[in-house]
Amino acid sequence: MKNYYTKYALLLISGLILNATTWANEDRLFMLVSHCTVCHGPNGSSLGPATPTIAGMNPLTFIKAMEEFRDDERPSTIMKHLAKGYNDEDYKIMADYFAKQQSVPPRQSVDSDKVKRGAKWHKKYCEECHTDESVYTTKSTIIVGQWMPYLRLTLDDFMTGHRDLPLSALKMIRAMLKAEGKESIDDLIHFYASQVE
Ligand code: HEC
Ligand code: HEC
């Protein structure tokens, strides 16, 4: 863990130096997204388990996320500070850029029994909203191909009420916990991690 943070800090510093020297020469898009890829990885495919992948994210959910971070409506360690530094036009430019990037999912090992159970829970409790057609597909909101630890944190935030979720969705998650037990969350996380192509 210590190594991870050291690496994280070094990455951050090298990113800032890079920004200072290339600032004047590069166009606005490059300037903007280079602030993000320091942490979110090349083209938005994150290399660390605590930072989410944002490549391929639906632009509407991207902008909504930035607005919620800015307005302190969504729990965050870092993004609440960062989001305040950009305007609506910046959000749109960045959202369009990251939406077009091909996500490179992390390699994560999964347990096949959990995957099997997770597939069942997904169909029963989640698929209704996270369909292929909706803005909230498991791909466009980066549930599939996301880091497992980050996904776990996100689901925890929903269950504890730290992050808002429509009541209808929260009810489904609660119903699942009641009927299938706490492990069902872990099953789902393994299932989503297994769905990368
Ligand atoms: C210092 C590291 C860091 C930098 C730089 C950074 N982020 Fe983040 N980002 C995070 C972390 C960590 C999270 C998870 C929320 C939190 O704890 O703040 C996150 C979450 C997000 C999310 C939500 C993803 C989801 O699945 O809902 C979006 C969108 C996002 N960042 C966009 C950006 C953009 C755009 C930039 C560049 C302006 C940027 N980030 C720069 C660390 C960073
Ligand atoms: C009634 C509809 C509905 C159901 C059922 C539902 N969800 Fe969602 N889910 C949503 C909506 C809407 C969002 C976007 C919330 C937001 O950010 O405002 C979301 C967001 C999420 C996110 C966060 C994505 C991100 O990075 O921003 C995860 C993870 C998630 N849902 C998992 C699940 C799981 C697992 C289930 C099944 C147990 C489930 N959802 C059931 C509607 C639903």
Rounded-to-integer distance, Cα 79 and Cα 73, Å:
11
Residue of minimum CA distance from atom 6 in ligand 1: 36
User: Would you call 8 exposed, middle or buried from its count of C-beta atoms within 10 A (0-12, 13-18, 19+)?
Assistant: middle
Amino acid at 169: A
Report the C-alpha gap between 158 and 166 in whole angstroms. Answer: 10
Residues 6+ away with beta carbon under 8 Å from 75: 157, 162, 163
pLDDT for residue 188: 98
Phi-psi category of 163—alpha, beta or left, where left has phi over 0 and alpha has psi -120 to 50?
beta
Q: Residue 133: what pLDDT?
A: 82
- In tens digits, what is the pLDDT along the chain, a chain of 197 residues? 455 566 556 555 555 555 554 444 457 888 899 999 999 998 999 998 989 999 999 999 999 999 999 999 999 999 999 999 999 999 999 999 999 999 999 989 999 999 999 999 999 999 999 988 888 888 889 999 999 999 999 999 999 999 999 999 999 999 999 999 999 999 999 999 999 87
Q: Whose CA is nearest to atom 3 of ligand 1?
A: 39
Specify the pLDDT at position 118: 98
**Pocket lined around ligand 1, Cβ cut-off 6 Å:** 12, 35-36, 38-40, 50-52, 54, 62, 65-66, 76-79, 82, 94, 142
